[in-house]
Amino acid sequence: MRGDQFFAQMSKRPPFTKLHPQLAGFLKDYLAHEKVVQFGEQYVVNTHFPPYPSRSFEQLVDGFSAVGDAEQKRLYSVTLAVTNRCDFNCWHCYNAGRGQDDITLGALKQLAADVQDRGAVMVTLTGGEPLLRDDLEEIVAGFDDRSCLILGTTGDQLSRERARRLKDAGLFALAVSLDSVEPLKHDRMRGREGAFRTAIDAIGVARDEGLYPYVVAVATREFLVEEHFFAFMRFVGEAGALEVHLLEPSATGRLADRKDVLLSAEEREQILQYQQQVASMKTRWESRGVGGFHSSIRAQA
């Protein structure tokens, strides 16, 4: 479904009816360039937004209503690294060289309560590799449904049983790192044999167990070559991903002082052009439920 069609259907229903007309206009214009997919009994614009309907979506609307009120400063999106430990050796890792001691479960539960009290709508649990924490389910359960929870992962150690436990604890989406459709190349970039198979299996497990599955990739110059980009989109759609996020290379961690990896203004504009192209496509992989492609210009995970 096109985003403008979704907005037309939902604009007369709560909580959309709470929106100030100017904010409603902004949201309508934004959605005009997006796809909306149905996932179970909910609708997903993209994972920068919580699913609709949900309590976290109501939090989003309440947060919009507070825009401009200096006394109601609220968080929206929080990325929380629950561990720096990881068994991969990724070429672009921003966590390289950081301490390996985990924050305690008690401290993370208190942090969960704090960020939710400050209005956090979207919360991404990341690392390192979060699945290395045996208490990850308890960390997830430390958040209530005011927030939409996402787990960023390589897919390492994601069994079907664990995916079910995480979903039961309150997890909504699984973001799987994938950098190439070529198994050996992805393995080399991630510094571990079998990394490609691990990632592809995780996408399937997530979708089978009711988690919203999507892919996170690093937008290198090679990746942005048109034929490579669209081959990647086609492949991940057929693998079961409902969305793709691109992260811009950042000169930090293992890429410290590597200004050669940074994208130019023209390459960033190319990403936005690709986004509009994909949002307007009618393709075979779209028919499988692929929502689209969403750029996320920030340091890679």
Cβ-proximal residues to 270 (8 Å cutoff; 6+ apart), any chain = 224
Contact status, residue 213 vs residue 240, Cβ threshold 8 Å: yes
Rounded distance, CA 234 to CA 206, Å?
Answer: 19
Sign of CA dihedral 281, 284, 285, 286: positive
Calculate the CA 235 to chain-centre distance: 18
Query: Digits of tens for pLDDT over the chain (301 positions)?
Result: 888 888 888 888 888 887 778 888 888 888 887 888 899 999 999 999 999 999 999 999 888 776 666 667 789 999 999 999 999 999 888 877 677 899 999 999 999 999 999 999 999 999 999 999 999 999 999 999 999 999 999 999 999 999 999 999 999 999 999 999 999 999 999 999 999 999 999 999 999 999 999 999 999 999 999 999 999 999 999 999 999 999 888 888 888 888 888 999 999 999 988 888 887 776 544 434 445 555 443 333 3
* Half-sphere exposure at residue 66, Cβ-oriented, CA atoms within 13 angstroms: 15
Domain 75-296 carries which CATH code? 3.20.20.70
By the 10 Å C-beta count (0-12 exposed, 13-18 middle, 19+ buried), 253 is classed as: middle
For residues 173 and 211, the answer to whether their CB atoms sit within 8 Å is yes
Which residues touch 42 (CB under 8 Å, ≥6 apart)?
51, 52, 53, 54
Is the pTM higher than 0.85? The answer reads yes
Q: Where are the domains of the chain?
A: 1-56, 75-296
CA–CA distance from 44 to each of 9, 213, 259 (Å)? 14, 12, 36
Of the candidates 186, 188, 161, 165, the one whose C-alpha atom is nearest the C-alpha of residue 176 is 186
